Structure 1
Amino acid sequence: RAFAAAGQALQAFQLEDVSFHPYSSKFDLYIGNKIGGVLTPAEARGLKVFADPNGGNCASCHYQGAGLNGSTALFTDFSYEAIGVPRNAALPVNADPGYVDLGLCGPARTDHPPTPGNRFCGMFKSPTLRNVASRRSFFHNGIFHSLEQTIRFYNTRDTMPELWYPTVGGQAKATPDPDFPGYGLITTQYVGGQVRKFDDLPARFVGNIDTQMPLDGRPAHSKPPMSEQDIADLLCFLNTLNDKDVQPAEPPKPGACTS
């Protein structure tokens, strides 16, 4: 009985003492109903986009609710997903066209051999989004270097794959059309040819690709899940996940997240 009481006392101390509360973001003030935790209209809209299963649907992998026994949200469900991130030619290992990082199927791991039909190949662990706005590299291969570009990849991977994957056999336009987006990895517009979608995943594992929103496999050049306003608001919300002593890699423009 004394041992159980000591355990309860230790638990109470760890729950109440501030030294055991590592998170100090605006979001933590918000969920704790503390001073300084009032979300701006843009941040509140961004939270809705984050949780909307028909919008950003970020919460499907980056769960924002309380954890075990009411512990603070970690913004990950620790699941593994395959989303077909573009190949990063800047990595020295990718100079070998036969090299492929299959995540759970190696080469770093050997417990899931890359045999046909292995549904784990191409899957990587969902990271926490705590302090995500401070990062300068995203995904397992560091292919993206801004949070906005990462969100835009999620939004248009399927609707405009030519922005993210190489086009083979097409004719490059000398000048892109005025409405051709410039935020992708590929800034050259092509006429004809074929987009090599999922260029860093062998064809035999493409069936492992996650198809939940916003990466739902919708037809090319159809309407993307999120609007420009949704993207702007989502960026504002994600900036609320930075701890108070952590600086964002790209601070929001003055006034961008207020109304």
Structure 2
Amino acid sequence: MKLKTLVVFCSLLAPAFSAGVSATEAAVPDDRRQALEELGQALFFDTSLSLNRSQSCASCHDPAHAFADPGTNTQAGAVSLGDNGHSLGDRNAPSVAYAAFSPVFHRDSEGRYVGGQFWDGRAATLADQAKGPPLNPVEMGLPDAASVRARLLENPYYERQIPSLFGASSLASDDAAFAAMAQSIEAYERSAALSSFDSKYDRFLRGEYRMTEQEELGRTLFFSQQFTNCNQCHQLQESPIDKRETFSNYQYHNIGVPVNQAVRAANGTAASYTDPGLLNNPAVTGPAEQGKYKVPTLRNVAVTGPYMHNGIFTDLETVVRFYNSYNSKSAVSKFNPETGTPWGEPEVPLSLSLKELESGPALDNKRIAALVAFLKTLTDQRYEALLDTRGNIGL
């Protein structure tokens, strides 16, 4: 699909995407949608879709951990372990909860890249994203679509249900079967099971929860254009009381994250390698896009660490302090509280979003703690038990 056509296509789908369903699904009868979601859920948890039958989508996007990596690999969740038992990626596996709200990858009216899936948007849609891990040699490791089809045909449920939902020829070819698998997983990822909108913040908007004094201060700071720069990138809607706020504008920025040296040492990446960021997307050209990554949703952010595209920060407060380092002149702000050492140089220094990063004032400890407290209110109700109650670094 040509880029110009894609932009028009995206604009036509915008109302449906903002509601968490695709335009096609909006016209799907409820019984068929439910059947699609159930099929997609089965596929999402199916380890037979990996070469050694040891890994499923849920292995790196665990529903018990807000659909993020549970942190059982050698890099504590910073990057994920592959099906072969030793391969490690170079980027953190983001949560797929609320991923359905990211629009189709496109350029907006101001020429900015927006939306898509993965950190670089190289998968335009959720279905495109679902095709990636099964064939990635450092993830699920199947060699081709023919292998996927063969695994699907092993399962009587798939053999019966896929033709029922996608037509008699849907398992007749490798490409058709692969597409049916991806579209089914997409249907599951668009379901309410992944986007519940029942956090304390949501309940506050409905009058069902009263923010603590600290949470309310954090909320005020977050949405303020005078006291923080948070909402420049992490606010989708113009109104801070929109019930479908996903806390991302889905644009791409370089915020100066340093190399995660521990990950690079573990996965054997050459010292000379530089992650291209958005330039890894085949639809993107131009050196100015290097080092940029999609702004993630802040839904469930407090329970889906480690943070940044390479999982370099463990604690949510560290992330807030990293942002604050661009504006604070204090000596302590120049150090990573997790390591006691300087933050490190940006992996890509030439495309930094300094306008956004330096637009806010310096924050004191009280305001940093308040922002962290507010971010914790964005946790889905079922994951509130995962919240860290041990306090914040340095406070």
Q: TM-score range by the shorter chain?
A: 0.5 to 0.7
The answer on whether the counterparts of 1:135 and 1:248 sit within 8 Å (CA) in structure 2 is no
Partner-residue secondary structure (3-state), 2:313:
coil
Matches within 5 A, 1:132-147: 132-147=301-316
Partner-residue secondary structure (3-state), 1:236:
helix
Matches within 5 A, 1:89-238: 89-92=261-264, 95-106=269-280, 109-113=281-285, 118-157=287-326, 159=328, 183-184=336-337, 187-188=340-341, 197-198=345-346, 200-201=347-348, 206=350, 208-213=351-356, 215-216=357-358, 225-238=362-375
Q: Report the Cα offset of residue 25 of structure 1.
A: 0.4
TM-score of the aligned structures, taking structure 2 as reference length: 0.44
Q: Which has the higher contact order (CA 8 A, sep 6+)?
A: 1
| Gap runs ≥5 in structure 2 | 1-25, 31-191
More helix by share: 2
Partner AA of 1:187 in structure 2: G
Q: 1:188 to 1:141 in 2, by over 3 A?
A: closer
Q: 1:79 to 1:29 in 2, by over 3 A?
A: same
Structure 2 residue 212 is the aligned partner of structure 1 residue 40: yes
Please name the residue that 1:169 is paired with.
Answer: none
**Alignment length, in residue pairs?**
202
Q: Report the Cα offset of residue 185 of structure 1.
A: 5.4
Alpha-carbon distance in structure 2 between the residues aligned to 1:161 and 1:90: 28
Alpha-carbon distance in structure 2 between the residues aligned to 1:95 and 1:127: 25
The answer on whether the counterparts of 2:313 and 2:319 sit within 8 Å (CA) in structure 1 is yes
Alpha-carbon distance in structure 2 between the residues aligned to 1:160 and 1:216: 12
Matches within 5 A, 1:68-83: 72-83=244-255
Q: 1:40 to 1:64 in 2, by over 3 A?
A: farther
Q: 1:249 to 1:63 in 2, by over 3 A?
A: same
Q: 1:251 to 1:110 in 2, by over 3 A?
A: same
Alpha-carbon distance in structure 1 between the residues aligned to 2:244 and 2:368: 26
CA offsets 1:50-77 (integer angstroms, 9 cap, x no match): 122233321111116479xx76111111
Partner AA of 1:30 in structure 2: F
Alpha-carbon distance in structure 2 between the residues aligned to 1:245 and 1:132: 14
The answer on whether the counterparts of 1:88 and 1:94 sit within 8 Å (CA) in structure 2 is no
Partner AA of 1:184 in structure 2: P
Q: 1:97 to 1:253 in 2, by over 3 A?
A: closer
Superposed CA RMSD:
3.7
Partner AA of 2:292 in structure 1: M
The answer on whether the counterparts of 1:89 and 1:95 sit within 8 Å (CA) in structure 2 is no
Q: Report the Cα offset of residue 26 of structure 1.
A: 0.6
Q: Report the Cα offset of residue 160 of structure 1.
A: 6.5
| Gap runs ≥5 in structure 1 | 1-5, 11-17, 163-178, 190-194, 219-223, 255-259
Partner AA of 2:355 in structure 1: Q
Q: Report the Cα offset of residue 238 of structure 1.
A: 0.6
The answer on whether the counterparts of 1:66 and 1:72 sit within 8 Å (CA) in structure 2 is no
Q: Report the Cα offset of residue 251 of structure 1.
A: 2.1
Please name the residue that 1:54 is paired with.
Answer: 226
Alpha-carbon distance in structure 2 between the residues aligned to 1:134 and 1:20: 15
Partner AA of 2:345 in structure 1: K
| Identity value in percent | 28
Alpha-carbon distance in structure 1 between the residues aligned to 2:333 and 2:391: 24
TM-score of the aligned structures, taking structure 1 as reference length: 0.65
Partner-residue secondary structure (3-state), 2:259:
coil
